[in-house]
């Protein structure tokens, strides 16, 4: 299983990409698209290519550059392709769960699918598969949500083909999903009614592209056309682009895309992510000023907010940390000596820059606090006089059910510190900083340029916009957490509002 020593920040979910372009090298276009989306998932990568008669799938564990080589890509011929880079939020990190998923249909065709997000009614869908006579699924089986979606799509495709199958099935999915899928001829893409995760449509000279982020469109030379709307299904073939609205849109874009998940050069809902992060930094400077000599970022994700903090505070900006860009997820188990190096595998201080300085260190988020604790200690050892930590997001206190793999609620530092003097002071002591400040929820939302009612900020405020199921493992997890904290008793079969209230109170 891949490990990441002292991973920095929360873990992303997945990236999806799709191309319909007769006459183009769609496999290589998809490869470069996935390369641009690598930050969204580093456990596995895969590409499926169709030529009108058959579908070829190649996938494996590892980074995009590790999975594919020139010879493999040269062997994948067709006019339509979908690609996926994965981080597991449900289902184990195994080859079987790598995507695209492939399923044959009873009519002799195929379905291949890539999924970004996380469903909250997977157990309900598994029950439905059992009722349809599909073998191998139980409520507690280890199949991922992507697995059950692809299986049900293939089953439904018996009547009316894949497009009609999607139109019938997708309104029954609950949670966050961005899908790219295809048969032998047609590329499809769909987004959940809340639009939790981004999905964009782009135009090539001889075809079309769909991508989790607009930055990948830039990489392959596609021009941005528009966002795929929440609740929309599109089909792309020789007749062009067809659009169907499957569910009324109720937008709830994940605000954490603006804070950390998306690339800074991507545009989400007409807002450049980098601009949002710089503005968060400016607001952070107003909300939590500090007496410092230099503002330094935790690269790379903290850099735009640090630029904004320097602009808002008037304190000079400097690069005080160097990041090893080639350290990521690895299949090589580290020795104990290497493990003890911890954060130094990824970050190293520029001693001549920081020695004798009062530092304002800007990072995107604090999850467990291990990284910040090690970072503060490293900066002091390198000669910093003071270390003032500023965080470009509010405290992460609630679990995400929509596709971000945060630590469990009990592991989140904002929930686990001694809060006798207040949570902020407890976290400050835990990481060893001279002072600590988080941007407010309101400041973060205003910086995103989006309306607050059209954003999901559940990991920060505990308000879940998508109803949680009554009988899923989530309710069991909440009951277990409640028992651990000892503050709440929950019925054996709580309704979704009780679950949400319980999580919020915890």
Binding-site residue positions? 254, 301, 363-364, 400, 456, 459
Are the C-beta atoms of 112 and 98 separated by less than 8 Å? no
Query: Which residues are within 8 A (CB) of 164 and not within 5 positions of it... i.e. 6 or more apart?
Result: 156
DSSP per residue, 200-267: EEEEETTEEEEESSHHHHHHTTPEEEEEPPTTEEEEEETTEEEEEE-S-----EETHIIIIIS-TT-E
The strand order across the sheet containing 435-438 reads 294-297, 358-363, 386-391, 435-438
In sequence order, the β-bridge partners of residue 211 are 17, 200
Q: Report H helices in 157-213.
A: 161-169
Are the C-beta atoms of 190 and 16 separated by less than 8 Å? no
Distance between CA 166 and CA 172 in Å, rounded?
10
8, 11, 14, 378: the catalytic one is: 14
495 φψ region: left (φ > 0), alpha (ψ -120 to 50), beta (else): beta
Binding-site residue positions for [4Fe-4S] cluster? 254, 400, 456, 459
Which residue from 289, 334, 338 is spatially nearest to 310, judged by alpha carbons? 289
Distance between CA 344 and CA 20 in Å, rounded?
43
CA dihedral sign, ordered 327, 333, 336, 339: positive
Which residue from 439, 426, 429, 419 is spatially nearest to 362, judged by alpha carbons? 439
Please indicate whether residue 85 is annotated as part of the active site.
no
Binding-site residue positions for Mg(2+)? 301, 363-364
Distance between CA 237 and CA 92 in Å, rounded?
34
Largest CA distance in the chain: 72
Distance between CA 71 and CA 284 in Å, rounded?
49
Distance between CA 366 and CA 391 in Å, rounded?
7
Q: Residue 336: in which H helix or E strand, if any?
A: helix 336-341
- CA count, 13 A, side-chain hemisphere, 246: 27
Active site residues: 14
């Amino acid at each position: 299983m891949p490990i990441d020593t002292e991973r920095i920040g929360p873990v992303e979910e997945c990236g999806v990409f799709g191309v319909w372009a007769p006459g183009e090298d769609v496999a290589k276009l998809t490869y470069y698209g996935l390369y641009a989306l690598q930050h969204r998932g580093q456990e596995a990568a895969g590409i499926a290519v169709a030529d009108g008669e058959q579908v070829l799938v190649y996938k494996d564990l590892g980074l995009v550059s590790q999975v594919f080589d020139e010879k493999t890509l040269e062997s994948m011929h067709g006019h339509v392709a979908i690609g996926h880079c994965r981080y597991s939020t449900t289902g184990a990190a195994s080859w079987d769960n790598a995507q695209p998923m492939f399923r044959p249909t009873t009519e002799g065709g195929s379905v291949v699918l890539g999924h970004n997000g996380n469903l909250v009614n997977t157990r309900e869908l598994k029950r439905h598969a059992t009722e349809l006579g599909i073998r191998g699924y139980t409520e507690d089986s280890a199949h991922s949500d992507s697995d059950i979606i692809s299986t049900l799509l293939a089953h439904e495709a018996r009547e009316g083909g894949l497009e009609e199958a999607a139109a019938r099935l997708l309104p029954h999915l609950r949670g966050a999903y961005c899908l790219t899928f295809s048969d032998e001829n047609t590329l499809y893409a769909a987004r959940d009614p809340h639009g939790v995760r981004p999905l964009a449509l782009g135009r090539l000279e001889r075809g079309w592209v769909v991508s989790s982020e607009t930055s990948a469109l830039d990489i392959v030379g596609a021009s941005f056309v528009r966002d795929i709307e929440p609740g929309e299904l599109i089909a792309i073939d020789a007749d062009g682009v067809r659009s169907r609205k499957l569910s009324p849109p109720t937008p709830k874009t994940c605000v954490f895309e603006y804070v950390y998940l998306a690339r800074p050069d991507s545009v989400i809902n007409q807002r450049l992510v980098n601009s949002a992060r710089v503005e968060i930094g400016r607001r952070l400077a107003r909300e939590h000023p500090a007496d410092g000599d230099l503002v330094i970022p935790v690269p790379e994700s903290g850099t735009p907010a640090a630029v904004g903090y320097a602009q808002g505070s008037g304190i000079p900006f400097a690069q005080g940390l160097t990041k090893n860009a080639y350290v990521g997820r690895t299949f090589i188990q580290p020795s104990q000596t290497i493990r003890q190096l911890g954060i130094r595998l990824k970050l190293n201080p520029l001693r001549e820059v920081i020695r004798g300085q009062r530092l304002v260190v800007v990072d995107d988020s604090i999850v467990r606090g291990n990284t910040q604790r090690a970072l503060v200690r490293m900066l002091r050892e390198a000669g910093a006089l003071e270390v003032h930590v500023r965080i470009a997001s509010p405290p992460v206190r609630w679990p995400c059910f929509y596709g971000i793999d945060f630590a469990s609620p009990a592991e989140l530092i904002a929930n686990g510190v001694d809060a006798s003097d207040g949570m902020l002071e407890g976290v400050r002591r835990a990481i060893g900083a001279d002072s600590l400040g988080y941007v407010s929820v309101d400041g973060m939302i205003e910086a995103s340029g989006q309306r607050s009612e059209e954003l999901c900020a559940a990991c920060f405020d505990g308000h879940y916009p998508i109803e949680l199921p009554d009988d899923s493992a989530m309710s069991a997890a909440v009951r277990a957490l409640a028992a651990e904290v000892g503050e709440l008793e929950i019925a054996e079969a709580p309704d979704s509002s009780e679950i949400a209230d319980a999580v919020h109170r915890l």
